[in-house]
Amino acid sequence: MSLPLADLTLAQAGDSVRRRDVSSVALTEASLDRAEAVQPALNCFLRIDREAALQAADRADTEIAGGNWRGPLHGVPLAHKDVFDREGHVATAGTILFETPATSRATVMERFDEAGAIYTGALNLDEFAAGGTGANDHYGRTHNPWNTDHISGGSSGGSAACVAARAAFGALGGDAGGSVRIPAAMCGIIGLKPTFGRVSRAGTAPRTFSVDCTGPMTRTAEDCALMLQAIAGHDPRDTTCPDVPVPDYAAALRTDLKGVRIGVAVGSPFDQVEPEIGQRLTDASDAFRDLGAELIELEVPDVMRFNDLQQILGKTEAAVICGKWMRERPGDMTFAAISVVQEGLLKPATRYLEAKSLRGPLLDAHIREIYGQVDVLFAPALAGPTPTIAETDFGDQDRVEELFTRSARFTRFTNYLGTPSLSVPCGFSASGLPVGFQLHGPPFGEARLLAAAHAYQSVTDHHTRAPALS
């Protein structure tokens, strides 16, 4: 191979295994070696399953040699946020409170296994996925691979850092308010929050009941399409997972955008970005214009209202999920997790019920107002350069929340609405840290987001750059 194995994209790796240019065992060894090499600097893994992964890779090679190729993920190493059940393992959710090994697999893990993907390990996260910096007092914080003095973002920081550092070809994260998209932007990778219900959450440690989504994190839009293809679709184990047809995401990818209407979000809060971030966004929107898209400036009504409603749902539901632990073992919980639970306990029931009841009508109005005019909405993913650890590591949870909210104001509203959003890398800040934008779409519009991102990546090279880790 002309590239080191760990530097291949997921699509390239899968094709190489299919053509038997490289074995799954060799690919998996390269991925595991990379994971073990970067782990001391990044702390992105909670567990690396070398022996089991190599055994699975050997089985994949045997199947492929026998003509039983399962698809583009067959024999490709993936690692995932530690919230998904696998038999015999404790899905920690970043806490020390869970002690019983799972007796079954999460649906997404079953589907990856059926696709022939190789599971290499569990990835770090903020406790209970209730944080945005990658800090975890129990297991240690995850560091940003572009500069380890900076945060990875969270709560799927381990997933973002792992993929950016080439320690796996893709990873799953969870997103209840930006927890896939923000760390993806901070680490310079693709991160998808699918439509609520597009991907099953059965067997997944819950962060919330009604705003949390499981989504792929990869280096390219093509890779993201391949991962989503494997896990999307109805699941009778998850009552929030509707029986909506799943398109061929890879077939929908394109390299021109003629006839595509892209709305460029303007006004508050989308104008609240620092100048160097704004310049990267302008460069990205210019690239879309050059690809043939029609750009339409668009004000998006009620974003901050949607954000507030998302917080009511998310924090109240987190209090229900985690309140038992705060009552019984508060000394074993981090301050960040306790703060979220405490806020949720103080939300009036009337506000929660109002947030739930308004969701459908507000979504319908949003679809009419935005996606009646455009196909895709372009918006920031980050408000400013990624903070340093020192800027967030001072025990003041209100200040940490303030820093996180600077960017979460761009992400939380689609968790409330349940619509899909994709974070895409678009360059680097003056300090050499990644910058990203988001593409938003209507319900079950993931294919159009991935197509636009793929076209953008066909004329840019930000996603090909790798952090300078030894």
Annotated catalytic sites, by residue?
81, 155, 179
Q: For the sheet containing 77-81, what is the strand order? A: 45-48, 118-123, 77-81, 171-175, 213-218, 190-193, 421-428, 434-440, 376-380, 261-266, 294-299
Distance of CA 223 to the CA centre of its chain: 13
Task: Give kind and range of the element (H or E) at residue 96.
Answer: none
Q: How far apart are CA 460 and CA 130, in angstroms?
A: 34
- Cα-trace Rg, the chain: 20
Pull the structure tokens for residue 252: 């929908």
Q: How far apart are CA 229 and CA 241, in angstroms?
A: 15
Judge contact between 45 and 37, C-beta under 8 A.
Answer: no
Strand partners, 379: 438
Assign 3-state DSSP to the chain and report helix, strand, coil percentages, each to 5: 45, 15, 40
For residue 165, the tally of other CB atoms under 10 A from its CB is 26
Judge contact between 447 and 198, C-beta under 8 A.
Answer: no
DSSP 362-408: HHHHHHHHHHTT-SEEEEES-SSSPPBHHHH-SS-HHHHHHHHHHHH
Report phi then psi at 90, rounded to 5: -90, 120
Residue type for position 7 = D
Q: How far apart are CA 180 and CA 423, in angstroms?
A: 8
Q: How far apart are CA 389 and CA 385, in angstroms?
A: 13
Pull the structure tokens for residue 134: 């990658």
Task: Give kind and range of the element (H or E) at residue 359.
Answer: helix 349-371
Q: How far apart are CA 215 and CA 72, in angstroms?
A: 18
